[in-house]
C-alpha cells in the first residue's frame, strides 16, 4: 500500500538493525486517515468472504482492526494481556512469548465473543516471529472458529513469522513487507 510505504519512509525510524519505530502514526500516536485507508485496503480483499469477526491483540493491533471491522461491518475483539476484573470465567487462553520484548503473556478472550460459527480475520500491527498471531489462532481454534487469513500492517520479512504461519497453512496478507533495516534504511520487498 503506497501511502503506508511512503509514511514509513517519511516518519519511521530504524532502531538497531531489526526494530522500526513507527510511534508517530501506528504504535502510540495514531494517524486516523492512514488507518482508514488501511481498513479499506484490507476490507476490499475480503468483502466477498463471509467474515464475521476481526480478532486482534492489545494494544497496537486495535486501531487497524477497528477500521477493518468498520469497513466490513463486523465486531472487533481484542485479546487482553491482563485479565480484567469482570473477566473471571469462561475464557479462551493462550501463552504468547515475545522474542522482541523478552516477555511471555497469557492472552485471553471471553468465550462469549467467539463461536464455532465465526469466520475470522486475525489482525496485528507487526509480524516479526509470528508468536502473537499463533496465540490468536490458538484462541480461535479453542472456540472452533475458522481463521480465514492473517492481516498484518507491517511485516518484517527478515524474521520467520510469515514462513511459520504459511507452513501451518494460513494465508498471510501484509501491506508493507520489509526486506531489511540495514544501514538505518528501510528496504521493502517490491
Q: 187 and 29 in contact (C-beta within 8 Å)?
A: no
Residue 153 CB-density burial (10 A; 0-12 exposed, 13-18 middle, 19+ buried)? buried
If binding is defined by CB under 6 A, does position 99 make contact with ligand G4P?
A: yes
Q: Which is nearer to ligand G4P, 74 or 107 (CB)?
A: 107
Q: Which is nearer to ligand G4P, 61 or 69 (CB)?
A: 61
**Is 179 labeled as ligand-binding?**
no
Query: Which residues neighbour 159 within 8 Å (Cβ) at sequence distance 6 or greater?
Result: 18, 127, 128, 129
Q: Which is nearer to ligand G4P, 109 or 128 (CB)?
A: 128
Q: Which is nearer to ligand G4P, 52 or 67 (CB)?
A: 67
Integer-rounded Cα Rg, in Å, for the chain is 16
If binding is defined by CB under 6 A, does position 157 make contact with ligand G4P?
A: no
Q: Which is nearer to ligand G4P, 145 or 186 (CB)?
A: 186
Applying CB under 6 A, among 1, 5, 19, 70 the residue interacting with ligand G4P is: 19
- Rounded Cα distance between 97 and 100, Å, is 9
Say what angle helices 32-46 and 62-72 make with each other, to 10 degrees.
50
If binding is defined by CB under 6 A, does position 34 make contact with ligand G4P?
A: no
Q: Which stretch binds ligand G4P (CB under 6 A): 30-38, 46-54, 68-76, 94-102?
A: 94-102
**Is 13 labeled as ligand-binding?**
no
∠ Cα 113 118 121 (to 5°): 95
∠ Cα 28 30 33 (to 5°): 170
Range 104-143, binding ligand G4P (CB under 6 A) = 125-132
Cite the annotated binding site for xanthine by residue number.
Answer: 20, 27, 156
Interface with ligand G4P (CB under 6 A): 19-22, 27, 57, 59-60, 98-101, 125-132, 156, 161
Amino acid at each position: 500500500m503506497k501511502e503506508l510505504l511512503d509514511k514509513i519512509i517519511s516518519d519511521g525510524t530504524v532502531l538497531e538493525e531489526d526494530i522500526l519505530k513507527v510511534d508517530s502514526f501506528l504504535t502510540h500516536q495514531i494517524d486516523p486517515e492512514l488507518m482508514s485507508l488501511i481498513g479499506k485496503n484490507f476490507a476490499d480483499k475480503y468483502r466477498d468472504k463471509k467474515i464475521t469477526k476481526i480478532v486482534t491483540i492489545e494494544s497496537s493491533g486495535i486501531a487497524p482492526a477497528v477500521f477493518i471491522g468498520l469497513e466490513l461491518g463486523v465486531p472487533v475483539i481484542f485479546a487482553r494481556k491482563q485479565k480484567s476484573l469482570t473477566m473471571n470465567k469462561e475464557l479462551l487462553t493462550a501463552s504468547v512469548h515475545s522474542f522482541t520484548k523478552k516477555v511471555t503473556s497469557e492472552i485471553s478472550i471471553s468465550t462469549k465473543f467467539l463461536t464455532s460459527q465465526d469466520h475470522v480475520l486475525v489482525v496485528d500491527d507487526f509480524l516479526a516471529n509470528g508468536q502473537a498471531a499463533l496465540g490468536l489462532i490458538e484462541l480461535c481454534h479453542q472456540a472452533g472458529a475458522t481463521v480465514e487469513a492473517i492481516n498484518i500492517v507491517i511485516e518484517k520479512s527478515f524474521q520467520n513469522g510469515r514462513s511459520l504461519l504459511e507452513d501451518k497453512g494460513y494465508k498471510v496478507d501484509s501491506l508493507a513487507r520489509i526486506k531489511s533495516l540495514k544501514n538505518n534504511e528501510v528496504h521493502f520487498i517490491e
